[in-house]
Amino acid sequence: MKKLLLSLSLVLFAGATLFAQDVGGPEIEFEKNVHDFGKMKQYGDASTEFKFTNTGSEPLIISNARGSCGCTVPSWPREPIAPGESAAIKVKYDSKRIGPINKSVTISSNAVNQPTKVIRIKGHIDPAPKEETMPVNKSDGAPVSK
């Protein structure tokens, strides 16, 4: 009976070890998952890059990157990323909107570790400073002194 239990245990252990082995394939690893713009002025440059590396054993293909709204526009590499190579997903936010930023980009790929990955941008956009205008003389356009 002990031999039977020992044999059964060895078979189960061997099967579990084989099942747990890495099956290979592309894997995506990002340097960061969130970019914080902090406080910025309206119409400022609200663009960033999310760098990633294919840490797997086969080419990584990003099939889609979709912003959570029309104000968040991602662009991504269309060509396969070879194992060990790095690339970036660029994200541009339309900074004409005033207020808090909390948007996401959903990435779809053939990565075995994360076929769907969400990255985020956040921050706050303050109104652009208003230009101070001086009254001008209607006849010649010269500033009028007070």
Residue 113 lies in a domain: yes
Residue 95 lies in a domain: yes
Residue 8 lies in a domain: no
Q: Which two tokens stand for residue 30?
A: 């990002």
> If you average pLDDT over every residue of the chain, what do you get?
85
Q: Taking the model in full, what pTM does it have?
A: 0.74
Residue 83 lies in a domain: yes
Strands 116-126 and 34-41: parallel
pLDDT at position 20 is 42
pLDDT at position 130 is 79
Tally the domains of the chain.
Answer: 1
Q: What are phi and psi of 90, to 5 degrees?
A: -95, 140
The band of 22, judged by pLDDT with boundaries at 50, 70 and 90, is low
Contacts of 105 (CB under 8 A, 6+ apart): 50, 65, 66, 67, 68, 72, 74, 89, 91, 118, 119, 120, 121
Structural domain for 41, as ranges: 23-126
Q: Where residue 96 sits, what CATH number does that domain have?
A: 2.60.40.10
Range from 14-23, 78-87, 123-132 carrying the lowest mean pLDDT: 14-23
Q: What are phi and psi of 17, to 5 degrees?
A: -65, -45
Residue 35 lies in a domain: yes
Nearest in space to 101 (alpha carbons), one of 92, 90, 88, 111: 92
